[in-house]
Structure 1
Amino acid sequence: MYVQTILRSKGNDVVWVRPGDGITEACNRMQENGIGALLVSDDGVRPLGILSERDIARAVAAYGERLPGMVVRELMTGHVFTCAPDDTIESVMETMTRERIRHVPVMHESRLAGIISIGDVVKFRLDEMAQETEALRGYIAGAG
């Protein structure tokens, strides 16, 4: 199966912030949307980085009380691993595991097409396994 399969079910909306936005605003945006990462972009089309809950947790330890006065560009991860809609879900799982990342923007023709999280991938795999289980049950019931 392919990344586009996940995007079809979850949609293409991506919540993003600008590099100069405040960390408090970014945290509020994550909370309001129930997400664990924000794409960092000047235009919502081309990623400049990603800001995750992990980045913020590390910053709490490193910067303490100074954190609320900081901006996204100071904490974001600048190197962003991306995938394409026609990449296999297995290849994205391998990248997430190897690079220890939880969110991967999906790019199509140099433009943002969505974002998938490790939770999206796990949900997809669980649904896929449930369908396989039902198919096997049906096969066994029909064979008996």
Structure 2
Amino acid sequence: MPRRHEADEATIRQQVNEIVEGLRNKDLEGLRRLYTADVVSFDVEPPLQHVGVDAKLTNWAAVFAIFDTVSYEVRDLTLTVGDDVAFGHGFGRLSGTLRDGTATNGMWVRVTFCFEKIDGRWLIAHDQVSVPFDVRSGKGIVDLQP
């Protein structure tokens, strides 16, 4: 069985690469195919949770409206894979050029992905993005590097 899990891990890593490519290409429909219909996302933007693939894609559409070119990088992705569920964590950074021509290096965030195997396909059922914060000020700390 470990060989099956190794193959599933490779498939999931490829799916994360598809997220990266989908963001770079601003391909909302390509991204839609990577999530469950009822995905729950705890993204950095309000509200506290986004429920359903349309809500998740609305967040990405907002990013695409602000950015002329988009780059996304995932670093240090660690995965744990079971038969029908898997989870992973790492760091992500959204960067690129804004519509006004301003280049931005973005910021590193912490990312968690939870996958569910549905009809033989690994889909994202939950994701979470967060930044650490300073307890005293209540402000996020966005200049940390992995």
TM-score bin (small chain): under 0.3
Q: Is the helix fraction higher in 1 or 2?
A: 1
The structure with the largest alpha-carbon Rg is 1
When the two structures are superposed, what TM-score results if normalisation uses the length of structure 1? 0.27
Q: Name the structure, 1 or 2, with higher relative contact order (CA <8 Å, separation 6+).
A: 1
